[in-house]
Chain A
Amino acid sequence: MPVLVYAENAGGKFKKSTFEAVSYAKAIADATNTGLTAISIGDVAAADLAALGNYGAEKVLNVANDKLKNFVNQAYASVIAEAAKAEGADIVVLSNSFSGRGLAPRIGVKLQAGVADGAVALPSIEGGKFTVKKTAFSGKAFATVELTSAIKVVSLTPNSYKVVDGGADAAVEDFAVETKESDFKAMIKDIVRSADKVSLPDAEIVVSGGRGLKGPENWGLVEELAELLGAATACSKPVSDAGWRPHSEHVGQTGIAVSPNLYIAIGISGAIQHLAGVSSSKVIVVINKDADAPFFKVADYGIVGDAFEVLPKLIAAVKAYKASA
């Protein structure tokens, strides 16, 4: 019984979080001595489909149906559940992306499967006991959850599993599936995707600003640093509440939880709600003029200083580093 992984695409292209999910699913398949089948839905180039083999997929089911060109979670969940049945898969893996969150629970119900959302490590499978570690309490803790159902659905937190490549091209097969009308009640009217900005949940580096930046007019420094580092921009709750930045940038307990390789916090004091959202970051840098700011207690590197003096120097230093690299 192979592992099935859903290979999500954005506008026809696979994302890094997809390669992470495929690599993660491959490790599970290896641990259970079985193969890995990937399923792609939508309009993805044949070469990109075959290239999923690079990350461990042996077979790729391609669902190229005009009605399924754009993501509708109800219909996609039906297709993925059908593929799981057709393949006899007992473990279904997907990314815990925004779309993944719409899919996993529906797939779980269809397959009468337990769902482990937001996994941060490989599952442990011993003596028929399937357990997996996931985030809980909005990043303040982790929970180890046992799935007791015959079929299991696991969604992987982006940036928490390394992409493993080096495999050969996968065999691509068309997967035909009957769709039912009632799965298409939700109609997409518009998709807005900014191509030039790094998406916050996927970002490997995040540059985040707080009230210490004093006003939205000062975000140019944050944006310049982010652009130099190929980073996404983020902010604290008071900043998005004040309307300086959009809610989609709010990192914290009631905003978005991120797990980048590098989180740079500028002018953020580090309230417990904010720290919850960044605790999974691999390296944290804090720049704050208040040496007693709680954020320094959970930081790896810090600069005690005024953001308006430090940032221009830091930007210059990054430029110099990039010029020499």
Chain B
Amino acid sequence: MTKILVCISNVPDTTTKITFTDNNTQFNTNGVQFILNPYDEIALARAIELTDGGKGSVTVINVGEAATDATIRKALAIGATDAVRINAKPHDAWYVAYQIAEYVKANPFDLILTGRESIDYNGSKVAGMLGELLDIPSVSIIKKLDLDGSTATVEREIEGGKEVLSIPMPFVAGTAEGVAEPKIPNMRGIMGARTKPLTVVEPAEVKTFSEVLSYETPAPRGQVKLVDAGDPAQLVELLHTQARVI
């Protein structure tokens, strides 16, 4: 029986236009729909595939306040066995990793998956921090994951290529596209999700090391300069003499 833990985040939908309030110090959640982080959906889908047919169980864990329960239920509807929510605001990656590590120390798993990054803060940090806190291997961005007994074969993305690794369980990995296709919950899953166990755990005390002070959006670009479709040589000229990028 393979016990897999999938760490999930509750993030703004990918179509969200990002704005801020309170003098650009707070993310404006007004009218924003929150979803299961797309990379975590990939982790969850692969965890379900790997444990399908009674080969194991999939627990999802989230560090968040009660508002994230809808996203946790979605993960249960997709096929997770049970869920844990650590009842705290996810202050930063270190805080989240610390809380999950504390839970895992008391409740061991064979494999811990995270998405390669959350699409809000994009830190790619929780997997590595968890690995360090638990003193087990971690791989930050994987494109493929297969299990053979207690050893896994993973493909890690590197610049301009890939690396194939063999890793004994337990370890932590951050999943990216290619590991699995996200699964869409069916009606039976949605009905069943209501009664699956969701345990709420209070957080451990820990000091944090970072604070977001403010946000800004990228500077707007000037008006586009259009070049005649029949004369792309003019574009090449502009890129060379005006933009100086070629």
Residues of A within 8 A of B (CB): 10, 15, 71, 73-74, 77, 97-99, 101-106, 108-110, 112-118, 131, 135-149, 182, 185-194, 197-202, 205, 229, 240, 247-248, 250, 253-255, 257, 261-262, 272-273, 279-280, 282-286, 296-306, 309-310, 313-314, 317-318, 320-321
Hey, which chain B residues are within 8 Å of A313, CB to CB? 230-233
Contacting A190 at CB < 8 Å: which of B16, B164, B216, B245?
B164
The DSSP consensus for interface residues of chain A is: mixed
Hey, which chain B residues are within 8 Å of A301, CB to CB? 224-227, 235, 238-239, 243
What 1/0 mask marks residues of chain B from 28 to 39 whose CB sits below 8 Å from any chain A CB?
000000000011
Hey, which chain A residues are within 8 Å of B208, CB to CB? 148
Taking A115-B94, A254-B14 as known contacts, 20 extra A-B pairs with beta carbons closer than 8 A to each other, sorted by chain A number, are: A74-B138, A97-B159, A101-B124, A105-B97, A105-B126, A114-B210, A115-B93, A117-B123, A131-B213, A137-B12, A137-B18, A141-B18, A149-B209, A186-B171, A192-B161, A192-B162, A253-B119, A272-B17, A299-B224, A303-B229
Interface size on B, residues (CB 8 A): 85
> In whole Å, how far is B240's beta carbon from the nearest beta carbon of chain A?
7
Contacting A283 at CB < 8 Å: which of B16, B160, B213, B239?
B239
A321 lies within 8 A of B178 (CB): no
The DSSP consensus for interface residues of chain B is: mixed
A to B CB contacts below 8 Å, 30 in the list: A10-B158, A99-B158, A108-B125, A138-B119, A140-B17, A141-B215, A149-B210, A186-B167, A188-B165, A189-B164, A189-B165, A191-B164, A192-B164, A198-B160, A199-B160, A202-B160, A247-B143, A247-B176, A253-B119, A255-B177, A272-B14, A298-B221, A300-B222, A301-B226, A304-B226, A306-B229, A314-B232, A317-B233, A321-B237, A321-B240
A136 lies within 8 A of B122 (CB): yes
Asked if B104 is an interface residue, CB under 8 A from chain A, the answer is no
What 1/0 mask marks residues of chain B from 11 to 51 whose CB sits below 8 Å from any chain A CB?
01011111010000001000000000011000000000000
Asked if B184 is an interface residue, CB under 8 A from chain A, the answer is no
Docked complex: B113-138 residues within 8 A CB-CB of A = 119-129, 131-133, 135-138
What separation, in Å, do the CA atoms of A282 and B214 have in the docked complex? 23
Contacting B124 at CB < 8 Å: which of A117, A143, A145, A185?
A117
Asked if B246 is an interface residue, CB under 8 A from chain A, the answer is yes
With A104-B128, A105-B126 known to touch, is A310 a contact of B161 (CB < 8 Å)? no
> In whole Å, how far is A160's beta carbon from the nearest beta carbon of chain B?
12
Hey, which chain B residues are within 8 Å of A318, CB to CB? 236, 246
Q: In the complex, which of the residues B17, B138, B232 has the most CB atoms of chain A within 10 Å of its own CB atom? A: B232
What separation, in Å, do the CA atoms of A198 and B158 have in the docked complex? 12
Asked if B185 is an interface residue, CB under 8 A from chain A, the answer is no
B238 lies within 8 A of A309 (CB): no
Q: In the complex, which of the residues A74, A103, A282 has the most CB atoms of chain B within 10 Å of its own CB atom? A: A74
With A109-B132, A146-B213, A253-B14 known to touch, is A199 a contact of B159 (CB < 8 Å)? yes
